[in-house]
């Protein structure tokens, strides 16, 4: 099946499946879904009294796939300022009173009407309002909608690709496919190219983009629902643009194509819609496209046409899609052929539509004034090549809303598939709700695409009640000549056909016809006299008869034929050809070599050479194509032809090796080609060289041993082979670390089949290739007649043994430059030769106080380890960086200061308590007490000598010092705990916070927290104590998790806490006048 035929079958099947799927989705309902459901007035009833709504009024058009009945619909939606949508039922009289559909589309309107209720079982997304009156408000049209203005210049559209939430994996076409369909301006059928051609360059889609695919927030049932199913335009528009809003600045576009990944309701939709996006409320040209809609270029162009404000057009019947003259009607009527990528491609739109969009210049639009009759030239509507009129407009009874349009359609550009080449007339009523323009079809047979709708020369359209006529006078290369009469007396067409050689002229003037058919219009009742000249008139026929004068009264369209006597000339073939023949009209030469031929006849003579001959040359012809000579019989003609013998080339190819071929003109090698007369029988003889024998002939008609016979009835090519009679053994010593191969002969070595020996015909030249394993190179060959790199060549004039060695490859590993501050104390061995393929790990060892900085030249690095793969020479570098640690004095001392290099911390200092110090540095910190204070205790030092604390910076260090008042008590402690309850005799942990209120430094080994049990004034236990968790400086606190054992008898007790200084004689702080910490404990 051809490609185009296969594509056509695919599209037919796909559209059939779409129609079936849509029908299934709507439960076989006979009513069309969508807006057309509201048009079924029998399905609604009044719900309440009259009310008024205000909002943006939008005209929407729904177009169904082929086979869906009815084929489509249109309707009206009002969007109020809150974004709520209401479907409007607008009677024809109300629409006419408001100025028609184009006057209200995209306008802010006040609507008076009555709410309607659908019949039981009928539902939809929008409430219904029966409209009684329409009135525009003072608000201006939003955004880029230009219903009342010409459409010109860049018209950027954004195409948003949206998937339903329950079908996120379904992506019918890629973003790139849409970009090619929509944005290609260089070639057909890209829509940018399409609109440029239709608008004569007035419109382009520059600035258009494709965004998506995006996944919608809801499943398909959220957007398409009701009974029968109906698309919720507002939900679909709001959510599909919403998911793309982050990527698209919508106010930068005039139109929005919403492409979905599954069917909608019945239809693809086009029109206008108001949206608020990116902070702006605007009215956009809008389409809603299911997959079957955008699989073909035509439906997308059709819906975008609705977006531009165009209605449907049609024939004068009930069908919407019956006209093949307009992309806004029968999209599918002009298919096949199909575009290989984009299926059905739209035709041009009609002149009425182009005119309302401002694409036809005033200078090329003829408007017939009342009471006038004018003959004009009308150029074809698609791809015009002249400045003639592109349309004629004929008002009916002076009306501005009712008129005829006249246009010419020819096979050009996107009009290549229109129904025919003719003048096409539409009757237009701009107040209709749809299908303003309807084809004038004279035969009324229901088909506006046949001869009844195509007006050709000699035919006249007549609207007698309105005094309008359109007569087609003649045809030009790219248009037609027509006479347009408006409000004047009717005229009729005189059509004259001339047969033979002669000319017919008319009086009154209008017809001068030298050949073919000519026509002119004359006022009704005119007597037209026709006069023959330039030849001998044989007879008149039609409206006249006989062979004398012809006068016709124009009471109707008239047709006359003038037949002129034929003139003849002699056609001669001379001399009569030899070795061939000539045949043609009355000629069969040799034999009948002359004939009498009518003047003006075009005669083809055919040359037929005899066997063994070929056509030589013609003479006396007007044109020659191969064996055919064509002569135009405008005078006597003499023709001649020659035939030449045929010679064919005999060739021996390829030239044989190890032998020779000889014969007439052949001695090969050497003379391997000869030219031989056709029909000759040639014998060629094969002679084998020493050590060889005859193999096989090819190209012979017969073979007898060494003799090949060919019949030269055509060019011949002969070949012969010679096979050796002696063979020798080729032996390859199996190598290690590589292979030796010769295709079809040897495959020997590591990883091969091990085929290291082969018998080879004497005299054969064998090339052996050495392939070293990774990390090896070819060393040395032996047993070769010649060597070139890895190739060893042996001549098999005797048995041969070949060997090869493979040598390991070594690369230099260099550490450079030699590192400092690391790897010190080495031998200085910084260069090493390493076998290819070895993985080497290098370890960096920084000197004390340094760390590894950065490696270079490694294949991988892990901490101090650099790994290199020795597949080539390598140079590795490493740096070592000095380590610094933070020295901190914390907390900042009160009643004194601590100083060192970079440190000045405490009372009366700069407050510099932190310093970064190089690793390994020894830092001395000096404590300076304020007046009346002395140094209490240091912490964080490696060594202390009086006021000097020394730290070694092998890590981050924190140092602190306390200063004690010289007048403060040496002993001092404060306790904080809480009463608690414990079981009798139980061991428990009691948290006690102890503060050093004296001037002594409590080392954790020299001081303990003691306790005693009391009941009333009686001490019940011996002194017991707990170690401190840390040393405590004067003024500091520590929490001790004291381990205590409760008295064995239940009751109320006091636990008395007391610090003790350990020594030869322990000193209890209470003995130094320091109060104890007494707390109540309940024992149960």
Cβ–Cβ < 8 Å for 288, 264: yes
Contact present, 377 and 388 (Cβ < 8 Å): yes
Q: Is 195 left (phi over 0), alpha (psi -120 to 50) or beta?
A: alpha
- The 10s digit of each residue's pLDDT in 794-819 is 998 899 999 999 999 999 999 999 88
CA pair distance 498, 538, nearest whole angstrom: 11
CA 108, 113, 115, 118 torsion-angle sign: negative
Could you give the CA distance from residue 729 to residue 758 in angstroms, rounded to a whole number? 6
Residue 978: exposure state from Cβ atoms within 10 A (0-12, 13-18, ≥19): exposed
Using CB atoms within 10 Å of the CB of residue 1053, give its burial: 0 to 12 exposed, 13 to 18 middle, 19+ buried.
Answer: buried
Task: For residue 123, name the pLDDT band (cuts at 50, 70, 90).
Answer: low
Q: How far apart are CA 237 and CA 162, in angstroms?
A: 10
- Could you tell me which of 40, 300, 358 has the C-alpha nearest to residue 173? 300
Q: What are phi and psi of 880, to 5 degrees?
A: -120, 135
| pLDDT 10s digits, 450-469 | 999 999 999 999 998 888 99
Work out the burial of residue 1042: count CB atoms within 10 Å of its CB; fewer than 13 is exposed, 13-18 middle, 19 or more buried: buried
pLDDT of residue 531: 94
Q: What is the mean pLDDT of residues 398-417?
A: 94
Strands 44-63 and 108-118: antiparallel
Q: Please, where are the H alpha helices in 75-125?
A: 92-97, 101-104
CB 813 within 8 A of CB 874: yes
Question: What is residue 376's predicted lDDT score, i.e. its pLDDT?
Answer: 96
- Banded model confidence at residue 71, pLDDT cuts 50, 70, 90: low
3 pLDDT band, cuts 50/70/90, is very low
In terms of Cα–Cα distance, which of 400, 352, 406, 420 is closest to 375?
406
pLDDT digits 0-9 by tens, 322-372: 999 999 998 887 676 788 888 899 999 999 999 999 999 999 999 999 889
Q: What is the CA radius of gyration of the chain?
A: 55
Asked whether the predicted pLDDT for residue 606 surpasses 90, the reply is yes
| Type and span of the H or E element at 374 | strand 372-379
Sign of CA dihedral 613, 616, 620, 622: positive
Helix (H, G, I), strand (E, B) or coil at 189: coil
What is the pLDDT averaged over residues 838-845? 94
Beta strands per DSSP E along 500-601: 503-507, 512-513, 516-523, 527-533, 537-542, 550-553, 558-564, 568-573, 580-584, 587-589, 594-598
pLDDT of residue 17: 33
Task: Check residue 352 and give its pLDDT.
Answer: 97
Give kind and range of the element (H or E) at residue 993.
strand 987-996
Task: Determine the Cα–Cα distance for residues 861 and 842; give it in Å rounded to an integer.
Answer: 10
Top pLDDT among 18 and 557 is at: 557
Provide the pLDDT for residue 70.
Answer: 61
Name, in order, each residue with C-beta under 8 angstroms of 440's C-beta and a sequence gap of 6 or more. Answer: 316, 404, 425, 426, 427, 453, 461
| Averaged pLDDT score across all residues of the chain | 88
Mean pLDDT of 737-745: 92
User: CA–CA separation, 319 vs 788, rounded Å?
Assistant: 84
* Structural tokens at position 437: 């323009």
Residues 493/520, Cβ–Cβ less than 8 Å: yes
Tell me if 1041 sits within 8 A of 991, measured CB to CB.
yes
Q: Can you give the pLDDT at residue 146?
A: 36
User: How would you class 958 by CB atoms within 10 Å of its CB: exposed for 0-12, middle for 13-18, buried for 19 or more?
Assistant: middle
CA distances from 724 to 64, 691, 696 (A): 78, 6, 13
pLDDT over threshold 70, residue 383: yes
Cα(159)–Cα(1035) distance, integer angstroms: 77
* Distance from C-alpha of 1007 to C-alpha of 1044, rounded to nearest angstrom: 18
Report, as an integer, the average pLDDT of 886-891: 92
- With beta carbons less than 8 A apart as the criterion, state whether 935 and 929 touch: yes
> Shortest CA distance to 270 belongs to which of 331, 221, 328?
328
| Residues of the chain above pLDDT 90, percent | 65
Q: What is the token pair recorded at 630?
A: 């064509």
Instruction: Determine contact, residues 307/271, Cβ cutoff 8 Å.
Output: yes
CA 418 to centroid of chain Cα atoms: 31
User: Cα–chain-centroid distance for residue 247?
Assistant: 16
SS3 content of the chain, % helix, strand, coil (to 5): 10, 50, 40
Please say if the pLDDT value at position 44 is more than 80.
no
pLDDT, mean of residues 223-240 = 92
Q: What is the pLDDT of residue 27?
A: 31
* Distance in angstroms (rounded) separating the CA atoms of residues 116 and 87: 10
> Among 805, 656, 648, 795, which residue's Cα sits nearest to residue 735?
805
Is pLDDT larger for residue 146 or for residue 478?
478
* 99-120 tens-digit pLDDT: 888 888 888 999 999 988 876 6
> Whole-angstrom Cα distance, residue 907 to residue 925?
15
Contacting residues for 342 by C-beta, under 8 A, at least 6 apart = 181, 189, 296, 297
The pLDDT, as a whole number, for residue 955 is 93
Q: What region does 659 belong to: left with phi over 0, alpha with psi -120 to 50, or beta?
A: left
Q: Is 70 exposed, middle or buried (0-12, 13-18, 19+ CB in 10 A)?
A: middle
Predicted confidence (pLDDT) at residue 149 exceeds the cutoff of 60: no
CA angle 1042, 1046, 1052 (to 5 degrees): 115
Question: CB 529: neighbour CB atoms within 10 A?
Answer: 12
User: Tokens 């604390």 — which residue?
Assistant: 949
Instruction: Name the token pair of 351.
Output: 């002149």
Locate 234 and state its tokens.
């507002």
Question: Which tokens is 338 given?
Answer: 């199909």
pLDDT band for position 403 (50/70/90)? very high
Note the pLDDT of residue 904.
94
Q: What are phi and psi of 999, to 5 degrees?
A: -110, 0
pLDDT of the residue at 101:
84
- The predicted-structure confidence for 660-694, as pLDDT tens digits, reads as follows 999 999 999 999 999 998 889 999 999 998 878 89
Average the pLDDT over 480-493 and give the result: 84
| Confidence (pLDDT) at 100 | 83
Residue 425 confidence (pLDDT) above 70: yes
Mean pLDDT of 371-375: 92
Q: Residue by residue, what is the 3-state secondary structure of 262-319?
A: CCCCCCEEEEEEEEEECCEEEEEEEEEECHHHHCCHHHHHHHHHHHCCCCCCECCCCC
SS3 of 486, please?
Answer: strand
Answer with the residue of higher pLDDT: 750 or 476: 476
Rounded to whole angstroms, the Cα distance separating 953 from 508 reads 126
Write 536-542 long-range contacts (CB < 8 A, 24+): 536/502, 536/564, 536/565, 537/502, 537/562, 537/563, 537/564, 537/565, 538/500, 538/563, 538/564, 538/565, 539/563, 542/497
Closest residue by Cα to residue 128 from 97, 156, 86? 86
pLDDT for 28 beyond 50: no
Per-residue pLDDT tens over the stretch 905-962: 988 888 899 999 999 899 999 999 988 887 877 888 998 888 899 999 999 999 988 8
């Amino acid at each position: 099946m051809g490609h185009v035929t296969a594509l056509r079958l695919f599209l037919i099947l796909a559209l059939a499946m779409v129609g079936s799927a849509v029908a299934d989705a709507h439960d076989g309902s006979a009513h069309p879904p969508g807006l057309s459901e509201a048009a079924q007035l029998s399905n609604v009833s009044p719900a309440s009294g009259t009310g008024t709504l205000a909002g943006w009024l939008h005209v929407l058009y729904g177009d169904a796939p082929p086979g869906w009945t009815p084929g489509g619909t249109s309707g009206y939606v009002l969007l109020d300022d809150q974004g709520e949508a209401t479907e409007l039922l607008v009677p024809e009289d109300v629409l006419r009173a408001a100025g028609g559909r184009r006057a209200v589309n995209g306008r802010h309107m006040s609507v008076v009407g009555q709410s309607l209720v659908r019949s039981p079982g009928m539902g939809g997304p929008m409430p219904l309002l029966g409209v009684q009156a329409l009135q525009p408000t003072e608000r201006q049209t939003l955004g880029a909608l230009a219903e009342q203005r010409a459409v010109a210049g860049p018209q950027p559209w954004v195409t948003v690709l949206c998937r339903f939430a329950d079908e996120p994996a379904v992506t019918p076409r890629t973003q790139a496919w849409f970009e090619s369909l929509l944005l290609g301006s260089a070639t057909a059928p890209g829509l940018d190219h399409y609109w440029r051609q239709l608008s004569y360059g007035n419109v382009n889609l520059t600035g258009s983009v494709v965004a998506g695919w995006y996944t919608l927030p809801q499943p398909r049932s959220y957007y398409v629902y009701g009974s029968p199913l109906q698309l919720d335009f507002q939900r679909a528009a709001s959510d599909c643009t919403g998911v793309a809003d982050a990527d698209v600045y919508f106010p930068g576009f005039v139109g929005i194509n919403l492409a979905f990944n599954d069917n909608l309701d019945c239809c693809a939709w086009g029109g206008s819609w108001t949206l608020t996006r990116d902070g702006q409320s605007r009215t956009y040209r809008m389409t809603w496209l299911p997959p079957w809609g955008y699989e073909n270029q035509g439906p997308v162009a059709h819906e975008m046409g609705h977006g531009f404000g165009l209605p449907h057009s049609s024939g004068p019947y009930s069908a919407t899609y019956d006209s093949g003259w307009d992309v806004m009607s029968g999209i599918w009527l002009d298919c096949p052929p199909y575009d290989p990528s984009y299926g059905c491609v739209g035709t041009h739109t009609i002149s009425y539509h182009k005119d309302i969009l401002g694409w036809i210049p005033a200078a090329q639009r003829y408007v017939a004034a009342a009471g006038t009759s004018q003959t004009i030239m009308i150029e074809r509507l698609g791809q015009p090549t002249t400045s003639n009129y592109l349309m004629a407009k004929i008002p009916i009874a002076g009306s501005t809303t009712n008129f005829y349009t006249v246009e010419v359609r020819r096979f050009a550009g996107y009009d290549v598939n229109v129904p025919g080449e003719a003048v096409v007339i539409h009757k237009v009523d701009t107040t209709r709700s749809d299908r303003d323009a309807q084809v004038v079809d004279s035969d009324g047979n229901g088909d506006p695409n046949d001869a009844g709708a195509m007006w050709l020369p000699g035919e006249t359209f007549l609207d007698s009640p309105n005094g309008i006529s359109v007569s087609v006078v003649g045809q030009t290369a790219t248009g037609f000549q027509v006479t347009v009469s408006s409000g004047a007396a009717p005229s009729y067409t005189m059509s004259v056909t001339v047969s033979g050689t002669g000319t017919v002229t008319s009086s009154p003037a209008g017809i001068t016809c030298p050949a073919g058919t000519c026509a002119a219009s004359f006022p009704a009742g005119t007597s037209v006299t026709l006069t023959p000249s330039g030849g001998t008139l044989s007879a008149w026929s039609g409206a006249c008869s006989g062979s004398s004068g012809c006068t016709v009264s124009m009471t109707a369209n008239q047709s006359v034929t003038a037949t002129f006597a034929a003139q003849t000339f002699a056609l001669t073939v001379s001399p009569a050809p030899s070795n061939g023949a000539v045949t043609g009209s009355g000629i069969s030469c040799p034999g009948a070599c002359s004939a009498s031929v009518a003047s003006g006849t075009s005669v083809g003579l055919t040359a037929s050479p005899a066997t063994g001959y070929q056509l030589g040359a013609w003479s006396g012809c007007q044109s020659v194509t191969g064996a055919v000579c064509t002569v135009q019989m405008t005078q006597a003609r003499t023709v001649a032809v020659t035939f030449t013998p045929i010679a064919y080339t005999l060739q021996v190819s390829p030239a044989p090796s190890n032998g020779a071929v000889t014969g007439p003109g052949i001695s090969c090698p050497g003379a391997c080609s000869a030219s031989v007369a056709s029909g000759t029988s040639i014998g060629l003889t094969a002679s084998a060289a020493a050590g060889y024998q005859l193999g096989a002939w090819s190209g012979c008609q017969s073979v007898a041993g060494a003799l090949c016979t060919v019949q030269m009835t055509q060019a011949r090519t002969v070949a012969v082979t010679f096979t050796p009679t002696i063979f020798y053994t080729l032996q390859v010593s199996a190598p290690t670390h590589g292979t030796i191969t010769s295709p079809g002969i040897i495959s020997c070595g590591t990883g091969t089949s091990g085929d290291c020996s082969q018998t080879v015909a004497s005299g054969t030249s064998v090339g052996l290739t050495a392939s070293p394993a990774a990390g090896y190179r070819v060393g040395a060959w032996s047993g070769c007649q010649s060597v070139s790199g890895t190739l060893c060549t042996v001549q098999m004039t005797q048995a041969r043994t070949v060997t090869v060695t493979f040598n390991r490859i070594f690369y230099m590993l260099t550490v450079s430059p030699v590192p400092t501050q690391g790897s010190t104390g080495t031998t200085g061995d910084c260069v090493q030769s390493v076998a290819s393929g070895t993985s080497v790990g290098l370890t960096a060892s920084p000197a004390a106080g340094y760390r590894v900085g950065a490696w270079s030249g490694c294949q991988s690095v892990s901490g101090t380890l650099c790994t290199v793969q020795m597949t080539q020479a390598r140079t590795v570098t490493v740096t070592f960086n000095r380590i610094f640690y933070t020295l901190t004095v914390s907390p900042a001392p009160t009643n004194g200061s601590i100083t060192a290099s970079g440190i000045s911390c405490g009372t009366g200092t700069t407050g510099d308590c932190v310093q970064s110090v190089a690793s390994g540095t020894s830092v001395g910190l000096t404590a300076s007490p304020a007046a009346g204070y002395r140094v209490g205790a240091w912490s964080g030092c490696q060594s202390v000598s009086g006021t000097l604390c020394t730290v070694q910076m092998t890590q981050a260090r924190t140092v602190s010092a306390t200063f004690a008042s010289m007048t403060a008590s040496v002993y001092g402690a404060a306790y904080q705990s809480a009463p608690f309850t414990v079981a009798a005799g139980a061991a428990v942990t009691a948290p006690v916070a102890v503060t050093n209120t004296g001037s002594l430094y409590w080392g954790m080994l020299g001081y303990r927290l003691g306790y005693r049990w009391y009941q009333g004034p009686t001490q019940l236990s011996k002194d017991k104590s707990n170690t401190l968790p840390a040393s405590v400086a004067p003024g500091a606190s520590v929490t001790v998790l004291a381990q205590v054992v409760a008295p064995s008898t239940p009751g109320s007790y006091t636990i008395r806490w007391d610090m003790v200084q350990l020594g030869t004689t322990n000193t209890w702080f209470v003995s130094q006048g320091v109060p104890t910490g007494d707390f109540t404990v309940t024992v149960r």
